Amino acid sequence: MKNFVYQNPTKIIFGEGTINQIGKEIKESGINKVLMIYGGGSILKNGVYDQIIESLNQYEIDYVEISGVQPNPVLSKVQEAINKAKEENVEGLLAVGGGSVYDSAKAIGLGCKYEGNVWDFYERKEKPKASIPIFGVLTISATGSEMNAGSVITNEAENKKWSVGTPLNFPKVSVIDPSVQSSLPANQTANTAIDTMAHVFELYFDGTQNVDVLMEYSEGIIRTTMKHVKILLEDPKNYQSRAQLAWCATLGLNGSNGVGRSGGDWSSHNIEHSLSALYGVSHGSGLAIVFPAWMKYVYKENIDMFERFAEQIFNITEGSKQEKALKGIEELKSFFSGINAPVTLKEIGIKYEDLGKIADNAAMLAPIGTLKKLEREDILEILKIAYE
Ligand code: NZQ
Ligand code: ZN
C-alpha cells in the first residue's frame, strides 16, 4: 500500500424515516437561512419536498429555493443560483437530489465566495479558497457526491464536462433515506448500479500492487451491487436492497476505497463525460458502453488483475490468463445488457463518423489514465471498440 492521508468530514444520517432530521442538523450548525436546490420535480411527487419543508419549519430555518437542475448539470444554472444565493444572503446550501444537484450545490458554494467565474476552478485557472456549508438529502445513490469532494459540471457553451475536487466540497451532513429511491424509474436504478461499479473499477484497475484489502473490499461492493440491482429491477420497493445499494454507492466513491492506491485510472469516466457533454447521454449509460471497451483496450497492461476480476466476480476458472480476462470483460458487458443498459455507441444513435469529434473532446484533458496513459488516438480506438 502507498502512504496516505484520509479525512472524510461528512456526517451521514442513514435510514428510513431520517429526512425529518435535516432541520435539526442545519440549526445545530448555526445556520438560519439556506438556498434549497433541487431538480426537475421528482421530490414534489414522492413526498421528499414536503418532509424537508416540515423539518425546516419545525426548526425555524428560513429558506429560498431554486429548482430545475438537470441531469448533467450545467454552468448557467449554477451561475443563476450563485446570484440568488448572494442576493438572498443565505448562510448555507441544501441540496435535495442526486449527483447533479449535489455537484451544483458544491459549485454554488465555491461561487458564493468568489468574485470571478466559478468555471475558473474547473479550468484549473484558480484554486478554490472558500465555500459555504452544504447540507444534503440524497434521493438517488450513485455518484458518492453526498460524501466526497468532487463536483462535475457541464459548461454547455464550450461542451466541456469537467470536474473540480477540493476538501471545501465535502457536504457537512448528508441524509440518505433509501426508501425514497423506490420511485426511481428502472433505467435510473440500473444507472446507479453501473456508476457505483464504475467507480470501483476505476480504483480496482489502476494497477497498484499490494492492496489486497482494497481488492477484497472492491469485490464485495461489486458483488453486492450486482446482486441487489437485479432484485430491485424485479421488486423496486425492496427496502433492504435499496439500502444496500445505497451504501455500496457511497462506499464506492467516498475515498475509503481509494486510499493506498495510485489515485484511480478515470479514463472511462473522462471519455464518458464527453458523451454526456456532446450528446446528453446519462452518466450510467455512457459508462456501460465505455468501460468494457476500455477494458478490452488495456487489459494486457496488467493481465493478472483482469484475470482476478474474471475469477472473483464471474467465477471464470477455465482457460488461459488471456481467455479468462477476455471472458470476464464479455460477462460484464452481458451483465450490463441484462439490466437493460445500452452497451454500444450505435445503440444510442451515435454515428461512426462522429467518433473523432468525441475523441477530440475527451483528449482536451489528455493524456488521461493511470494503467495506460491514453492520447487522442488511444481514445479513438476505445470508441471504435465501443461502437458495436
Ligand atoms: O430532476 P429530478 O426530477 O429530481 O429527477 C432526477 C433525474 O432526472 C431523478 N431522480 C432522482 N431521485 C429520484 C429521481 N426520480 C425518482 N425518484 C427519486 N427518488 O434521477 C435523474 C438523475 O439524477 P442525477 O442527479 O443526474 O443522477 P446521479 O446521482 O446519477 O448524478 C449524475 C451526475 O453526477 C456526476 C455525473 O457525471 C452526472 O453529471 N458525477 C458526479 C461525481 C461526483 N461528484 O463525485 C462522480 C461521478 O462519477 C459522476 O461523474
Ligand atoms: Zn461516475
Q: What is the domain extent for residue 229?
A: 186-387
Q: Are residues 69 and 151 in the same domain?
A: yes
Q: Are residues 207 and 174 in the same domain?
A: no
Q: Are residues 36 and 62 in the same domain?
A: yes
pLDDT tens per residue, range 45-92: 999 999 999 999 999 999 999 999 999 999 999 999 999 999 999 999
pTM for the complete prediction? 0.98
Please tell me the predicted confidence (pLDDT) of residue 35: 98
Atom of ligand 1 nearest to the CA of 145: 44
Q: Are residues 169 and 194 in the same domain?
A: no
Please tell me the predicted confidence (pLDDT) of residue 59: 98
Task: State whether the beta carbon of 169 lies less than 6 angstroms from ligand 1.
Answer: no
Q: Are residues 272 and 135 in the same domain?
A: no
Last-in-domain residue among 151, 179, 207 = 179
Last-in-domain residue among 116, 145, 179 = 179
Q: Are residues 122 and 248 in the same domain?
A: no
Q: Are residues 206 and 322 in the same domain?
A: yes
Last-in-domain residue among 150, 179, 208 = 179
Task: State whether the beta carbon of 132 lies less than 6 angstroms from ligand 1.
Answer: no
> Do the beta carbons of residue 383 and residue 271 sit within 8 Å?
yes
Candidate from 16, 48, 108, 139 with most ligand 1 atoms within 8 A of CB, to mutate: 139
CATH number of the domain bearing residue 120: 3.40.50.1970
Please tell me the predicted confidence (pLDDT) of residue 172: 98
Q: Are residues 190 and 175 in the same domain?
A: no
Q: Are residues 122 and 95 in the same domain?
A: yes
Which residues, 6 or more positions from 108, have their beta carbon under 8 angstroms from its beta carbon? 35, 37, 78, 81, 82, 85, 93, 118
Q: Are residues 379 and 276 in the same domain?
A: yes
Atom of ligand 1 nearest to the CA of 141: 29
> Do the beta carbons of residue 265 and residue 306 sit within 8 Å?
no
pLDDT tens per residue, range 174-207: 999 999 999 999 999 999 999 999 999 999 999 8
Task: State whether the beta carbon of 252 lies less than 6 angstroms from ligand 1.
Answer: no
Task: State whether the beta carbon of 184 lies less than 6 angstroms from ligand 1.
Answer: yes
Task: State whether the beta carbon of 148 lies less than 6 angstroms from ligand 1.
Answer: yes
How many A from CA of 302 to the centre of ligand 1?
Answer: 32
Residues across the chain: 388
> Do the beta carbons of residue 257 and residue 263 sit within 8 Å?
no
Q: Are residues 52 and 143 in the same domain?
A: yes
> Do the beta carbons of residue 167 and residue 232 sit within 8 Å?
no
CATH number of the domain bearing residue 310: 1.20.1090.10
Of 58, 56, 52, whose CA–CA distance to 18 is shortest? 52
Q: Are residues 124 and 222 in the same domain?
A: no
**CA angle, 169 as apex, 163 and 175 as ends, to 5°?**
115
Task: Spell out, as residue ranges, where the chain has pLDDT lower than 50.
Answer: none
Q: Give how many domains the chain has, as a whole number.
A: 2
